[in-house]
């Protein structure tokens, strides 16, 4: 039905947002992140090289979004 993909950068941002914007403790947020790592290990995409080589200008001007764009490109969600 779908392929779930994630990166370390995306999970770090997710954890931060869960703690800052939702009533979720650090322990609960980490448990959710660990669930993703454990149950979807094949979905992990390493973005280190992509973040250094992709031209992000056609997609976003916000550097905070680079990891999301890189994940979509490397994960072949967008051409």
In a domain, 22, yes or no: yes
In a domain, 79, yes or no: no
As given in the structure block, the two tokens for residue 63 are: 């550097």
In a domain, 33, yes or no: yes
Q: What are phi and psi of 44, to 5 degrees?
A: -70, 130
**DSSP-derived 3-state class of residue 44:** strand
Q: Which residue has the tokens 């931060």?
A: 16
Q: Are 37 and 44 in contact (CB under 8 A)?
A: yes
Q: What pTM did the predictor assign? A: 0.84
Contacts of 13 (CB under 8 A, 6+ apart): 67
Instruction: For residue 50, give its domain range.
Output: 8-74
In a domain, 1, yes or no: no
- Number of domains the chain is built from: 1
**pLDDT by 10s per residue, the chain, length 79:** 778 999 999 999 999 999 999 989 999 999 999 999 999 999 999 999 999 999 999 999 999 999 999 999 999 876 5
In a domain, 38, yes or no: yes
In a domain, 68, yes or no: yes
């Amino acid at each position: 039905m779908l392929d779930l993909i994630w990166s370390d950068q995306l999970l770090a941002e997710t954890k931060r947002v869960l703690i800052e914007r939702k009533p979720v403790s650090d322990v609960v947020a980490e448990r959710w992140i660990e669930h993703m790592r454990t149950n979807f290990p094949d979905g992990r995409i390493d973005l280190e090289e992509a973040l250094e080589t992709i031209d992000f200008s056609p997609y976003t001007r916000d550097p905070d979004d680079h990891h999301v764009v890189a994940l979509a490109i490397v994960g072949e969600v967008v051409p």
